[in-house]
Structure 1
């Protein structure tokens, strides 16, 4: 693996550039991103439909727009997103360095990261969610840290760098920028979800000749559109994580130095042999 020969050019980018780059990365890796997206979201989508179907039916009996159902759906998706998009994040980590991606290896890495994912990304985020969604814009790249850097939960006797300390080091002193990007992502994601949902409904009605009832619109089309945008936002989040590492830690310089050090070690190993 050549650390300085990445598939994604490692440099600082504005958030608008990241959004555009995410489309290109998604297109380039669609052969893996699409099935991994389906693997990650399908079970959660079915579970949400099963849990919220009675609420949706009750809401539609009294109002045209099921507000209560929509709020509950957004809460569930927010809780489930770190787990649902974890396979995509692991793939993107391999894709960046042109490393071969194997499904079995990804599954092993996911299982190893699962305890911390459940603790930090599900339990703690769910508990902190009432506080203005603080964990979603103060620690947006915690999932990438858990999945890609794999720091331990506790330091142990050797006082190793833990996930919590690593997250503080990466996210500290960037609250304003992270909040701005989070707000932009919410606005863009919401607009795309609405546009995609209405687009699917129009296509099904006009081309397929199938009437999209309010029940189908909110139970199937709406969640499908939301999960598609969530999958794309996983790519955006990964690229934003790389960008923050570049800005905070000079990651592109670190990669160049590590790559050069690797090259310098090769001749010496051949001579010693």
Structure 2
């Protein structure tokens, strides 16, 4: 590993540059990004179908179909930060190596699973959201819709003002807590990175809403292509359970790449990360010489 020879040039970039670079990175590592996304997204797809199973008997109804599709979108929206964790790990490994290696990438993350589960799956609303979506599918489940709306608002605000929690857990690998007040925990690291850049975080969150028209465009194109080729214009089980989620997971994977690049950009602006990498590279070379 050579810290001063990264696969992505370390320099400050604007928002449009980051989204453009996200496309280039996605193109270069397309196969690995798709594999990393699918490895987690496919189990989530099966789980989501199970959570919405109570609505399936009434799917011919337009109202039920709309509700089914809407709840599927909500589930994927809540699950995306957790489901794209492998993409973040893969990009972190690819940053410093010519050829990303799955074994090297997965050598350490098992110790990070409890942190991801508590901080992302629980505190960021993934598991509670799944439970509320399931309750919304029951008879008289409309009352739970209000709590689901509050949870979505809560998760959206957290993602907007502290978007890089997953990157901090997976790449910085700080402990969850520590007795020593000087130890850099996940909470302290997140506060140090996010709090001084609150305005910038809000602007980046607003820019990330481009994922909405992008997801709609991909989904509608898949629907239209299916209709023209096979004459299947309805929103049946194949469309709702497979094609709709695939279109959303593709956007989630791209936004994970853009978020990773935005995290690097923030570290460069806030911490002078490019200087740190050069210093660490020189330190490693001197260690080799002394040894």
| Fold shared per TM-score above 0.5 | yes
State the alpha-carbon separation in 1 of the partners of residues 204 and 65 from structure 2: 29
The answer to whether the 8 Å contact 1:82/1:117 transfers is no
- In 2, Cα distance between the equivalents of 1:96 and 1:17? 18
Tell me the residue number matched to 2:223. Answer: 201
Where in structure 2 are there 5+ consecutive unaligned residues? 129-150
- Conserved? CA contact 1:129–1:135, under 8 Å: no
User: Which residues in structure 2 correspond to 1:108-127 (within 5 Å)?
Assistant: 108-126=107-125
**Alpha-carbon displacement from aligned partner over 1:21-80 (angstroms, at most 9, x marks no partner):** 1111111112311211110200101211222244366476253871x4344323322332
Q: Determine the C-alpha separation between the residues in 2 that align with 1:33 and 1:235.
A: 9
CA RMSD of aligned residues (A): 2.2
CA change 1:205–1:24 in 2 (3 A) is same
Aligned-residue offset at 1:230:
0.4
Distance 2:216 2:283 in 1: 49
Q: CA deviation at 1:103?
A: 2.6
2-structure distance, mates of 1:238, 1:199: 27
**Counterpart-to-counterpart distance in 2, 1:16 and 1:86:** 24
Q: Which residue of 2 aligns with 1:171?
A: 194
SS at match of 1:143: helix
Matches of 2:228 and 2:70, distance apart in 1: 29
Give the Cα separation in 2 of the matches to 1:12 and 1:178.
16
- Displaced runs of 4 or more, over 6 A: none
Residue 232 of structure 1, CA deviation? 1.0
Q: Is the 8 A contact 2:11 2:265 kept in 1?
A: yes
- Return the TM-score normalized by structure 2: 0.83
Contact map agreement 1:53 1:219 (CA 8 A) in 2: no
Q: Which residue of 2 aligns with 1:253?
A: 275
* Residues 78 and 214 (structure 1), Cα distance of their counterparts in 2 relative to 1, 3 Å cut: closer
CA offsets 1:72-104 (integer angstroms, 9 cap, x no match): 323322332222111111110011111653333
Indicate how the Cα distance of structure 1 residues 74 and 197 shifts in structure 2: closer, same or farther if over 3 A, else same.
closer
**Counterpart residue number, 1:86:** 85
1:264 Cα deviation after fit: 3.1
Q: In the superposition, relative to structure 1, how do residues 10 and 163 fare at CA in structure 2: closer, same or farther (>3 Å)?
A: same
CA shift, 1:205, in A, is 2.4
Shift of 1:218: 3.2
2:235 to 190, 194, 214: 214
How many residue pairs end up in the alignment? 266
Contact 2:93-2:101 within 8 A present in 1 as well? no
Instruction: Say if 1:11 and 1:246, in contact at 8 Å, map to a contact too.
Output: yes
Q: Is the 8 A contact 2:89 2:171 kept in 1?
A: yes
- Structural mapping, 1:52-63, within 5 Å: 52-55=52-55, 58=58, 61-63=61-63
Give the TM-score normalised by structure 1: 0.88
8 Å CA contact retained: 1:91, 1:106: yes
Distance between the aligned counterparts of 2:68 and 2:216, measured in 1?
A: 16
Mapped contact 1:79–1:122 kept (Cα < 8 A): no
Where does residue 18 of structure 2 map in the other structure? 18
